[in-house]
Amino acid sequence: MKKIELLVVDCLTSGKGQRLYTRDFIGAGPRYIAGFIEDISNQQVHTTLIRGESILNENFNLEKFPILCVSSMTMDTRITQKIFHKWLKFHPSSSNRLGIIGGPISSDLKILNRIEGADLSIIGEGEIAMQSLFQKNLHIIEEKIR
């Protein structure tokens, strides 16, 4: 069986598209979630972890990622919108993609209205939601994105 490709994007403190500090750093939360998803899916999901500004500044292939998880702060709404906008060019149909937002930006209860392409917002620690998605209901996700 082919692994599901999932992209985890760290936009924490990226603002409109460029970090002023810790430019080469990926936060512990996104790193943990990427590994956690691979583990609970019994390695059926392959995660790629990247900084948000790398997607905007480089020729990064978003086509192979039907699942996008973005970790942001409320100050990172603009870069989050840009990343989802770019991703939607490759995955325009909501019937075969899944967009997830996590991190402090999720405290905004209306964030899904502001980010086109985002289907879920994970509030708080993501372990329970990720376990439900990528362990208990992985077969549903497989059917959706294939």
The pLDDT tens digits of the residues spanning 35-57 come to 999 999 999 999 999 999 888 88
Q: CA triplet 14, 121, 136: central angle to 5 degrees? A: 125
Least confident of 1-5, 40-44, 134-138: 1-5
Predicted structure pTM score: 0.89
For residue 57, count other CB atoms closer than 10 A to its CB.
11
- Closest Cα to residue 104, out of 73, 75, 125? 73
| Contact between residue 124 and residue 71 where contact means Cβ atoms under 8 Å apart | no
Domains with residue ranges and CATH for the chain: 4-145 (3.40.50.280)
pLDDT of residue 38: 96
**Does position 131 have pLDDT exceeding 60, yes or no?**
yes
The structure tokens 């980010």 sit at 115
pLDDT of residue 58: 76
**Does position 25 have pLDDT exceeding 80, yes or no?**
no
For residue 66, count other CB atoms closer than 10 A to its CB.
21
Higher-pLDDT residue of 91, 125: 91
Enter the tokens of residue 30: 């996104």
